[in-house]
Amino acid sequence: MAGLSGAEAALLEDVDDQAQPMLAMVEAWAAINTGSRNQDGLAAMAQVLADAFGSLPGEAALLEPQPATSIDADGRETPLVHGRNLHVKVRPDARLQLLFTGHMDTVFAADHPFQSCRWTGPGVLNGPGVADMKGGLAIMLTALQAVERSPAAAAIGYEVVINSDEEVSSLGSAHLIAAAARGKAAAFTYEPALPDGALAGARPGSGNFSIIVTGRAAHAGRNPEEGRNAVVAAADLAVRLAAAAGDELKVNPARVDGGGPNNIVPDRAVLRVNLRPATAEAEQEAKSLIARLVDDVAARHEVSVDVHGGFARPPKPLDAKAEGLFRLVRACGLELGLDIAWRATGGVCDGNNIAAMGVPVVDTMGARGGAIHSTDEFLIVESLVERARLSALAIMRMGAGEWRA
């Protein structure tokens, strides 16, 4: 660590002193169920986070989500309820403006059996959201607190957004993330790093669609020819969409809702499908594909077809500005004895939305861990301090002008 300045060494020592408080935060926060649809749990967590991040200077607020809707199994549009989102703004007039984001929600509902933490080995904590991403939130807060106690703080302004609906596409918080990203030099998002410490580089986009097919009911024996089978039409559309998948577009027809008694030609079906385009061009082609196939299926089966949904996550290429930010993080890692690499991944996150605003982002600045979204999810506890040191050093060096977008 011969390349570290005295101020940087003091910053890292400050982070080192927070090892036990960080672990305590993760354990306490993981004990609060924050499934994306558990509004009581999300409200409790939002207040806990508001109190914790209230230690930072500046303005903090819990902001209401933007209205959103979904399609139920009968094809009806219904309101979606999301929790409030934490927003913190610090030194908006500072020379350098950064964005830090994370999410408080998990994939584990209030009635899911996975509700508590346990040690599965030395330094390995199993628990709901410990890696994805309550560990990441602890890393973010600890790094920012350390920077605030350093001489670098005055030069750095930033916003923090911690949303309540990342695991369900950020439909209620995307507007807040976009507004906070506007004009920022760079961003860090605290999704978990891979177990070996690698970071996610390029990501595809993601679109979720509910496609409502309306046919005509008829008696399955007496006059089936007068019916228009919505389930068959939805199945035909699913097969056609799946056949269009390729290297630049992944397609997953995930579910068909509809049908009823065997003696009735079904008049309603809802196809749920996810599409993941690798590039902006592939996203446009996917939109054209959906429109074309919907028209073809509607004409072929004499049904009406309505499309609900869209691409909530734009593709995130690894452009020159993003590569520059990754190189800064890598250089900071080498100072700390970490050999940090990055590679493309098929997952998506709020980093996609930030990159779409033209802001370079490293979106896996969180803890090392794995098996996320499963009951085997684990956190490598030593990575809490490791990654908080990495963030704090990178932030300090950006504040010192060692990196420019």
Q: Report pLDDT digits (tens) over 171-189.
A: 999 999 999 999 999 999 9
- Average pLDDT, integer, range 351-358: 98
248 in active site: no
What is the pTM assigned to this prediction?
A: 0.96
Which string of b and e fits 79-89 if b means at least 16 CB within 10 Å? ebebbbbbbbb
Q: How far apart are CA 232 and CA 235, in angstroms?
A: 5
Domains and CATH numbers, the chain: 6-203+316-399 (3.40.630.10), 206-313 (3.30.70.360)
Q: How far apart are CA 158 and CA 186, in angstroms?
A: 10
- Average pLDDT, integer, range 267-286: 98
Q: Is the pLDDT of residue 2 over 90?
A: no
Given the residues 105, 236, 283, 377, select the one marked as catalytic. Answer: 105
For residue 281, give Cα distances in angstroms to 103, 276, 288, 317, 385: 29, 12, 11, 12, 40
Q: How far apart are CA 150 and CA 159, in angstroms?
A: 18
Q: Which two tokens stand for residue 316?
A: 């995130």
Given the residues 8, 14, 165, 166, select the one marked as catalytic. Answer: 166
Q: How far apart are CA 226 and CA 397, in angstroms?
A: 71
Q: How far apart are CA 103 and CA 233, in angstroms?
A: 38
- Reported in sequence order, the residue ranges of 66-143 that DSSP labels E, i.e. its strands, are 68-71, 77-80, 85-90, 96-103, 118-121, 124-126
Task: Please state whether beta strands 199-200 and 342-343 pair in parallel, antiparallel, or not at all (unpaired).
Answer: parallel
Going by C-alpha positions, the residue among 190, 180, 181 that lies closest to residue 87 is 180
Q: How far apart are CA 18 and CA 40, in angstroms?
A: 30
Question: What angle in degrees, to the nearest 10, is found between the helix axes of 6-16 and 135-148?
Answer: 140
pLDDT for the residue 196: 87
pLDDT in tens, 19-45: 999 999 999 999 999 999 999 999 999
- Average pLDDT, integer, range 273-298: 98
Q: Which two tokens stand for residue 178?
A: 């976009």
DSSP H helices, 57-157, are 135-148
Residues 6+ apart with CB under 8 A from 257: 73, 74, 269, 270, 272
Residues in the chain: 405
Q: What is the Cα 366 distance to its own chain's centre? A: 12
* Amino acid residing at 215: G
Residues 6+ apart with CB under 8 A from 303: 213, 214, 215, 216, 228, 230, 233, 297
Phi/psi zone of residue 258: left (φ > 0), alpha (ψ -120 to 50 degrees), beta?
A: left
* Amino acid residing at 140: M
Q: Are 188 and 365 in contact (CB under 8 A)?
A: yes
Q: How far apart are CA 154 and CA 5, in angstroms?
A: 18
pLDDT for the residue 1: 45
Task: Please state whether beta strands 378-380 and 369-370 pair in parallel, antiparallel, or not at all (unpaired).
Answer: antiparallel
pLDDT for the residue 59: 87
Radius of gyration of the chain (CA): 23
Q: Are 300 and 253 in contact (CB under 8 A)?
A: no
Burial class of residue 101 in the structure, from the number of CB atoms within 10 Å of its CB (0-12 exposed, 13-18 middle, 19+ buried): buried
Q: Is the pLDDT of residue 54 over 70?
A: yes
Q: How far apart are CA 62 and CA 46, in angstroms?
A: 7
Residues β-bridged to residue 90: 158
Residues β-bridged to residue 82: none
For residue 18, give Cα distances in angstroms to 14, 120, 151, 367, 386: 7, 23, 19, 15, 11
167 in active site: no
Q: How far apart are CA 207 and CA 40, in angstroms?
A: 28
Average predicted confidence (pLDDT) for the chain = 97
Q: What is the Cα 54 distance to its own chain's centre? A: 23
Q: Name the pLDDT band for 393 (thresholds 50, 70, 90).
A: very high
pLDDT in tens, 113-125: 999 999 999 999 9
Q: How far apart are CA 154 and CA 208, in angstroms?
A: 42
pLDDT in tens, 241-272: 999 999 999 999 999 999 999 999 999 999 99
Q: Name the pLDDT band for 405 (thresholds 50, 70, 90).
A: low
Percent of the chain with pLDDT over 90: 97
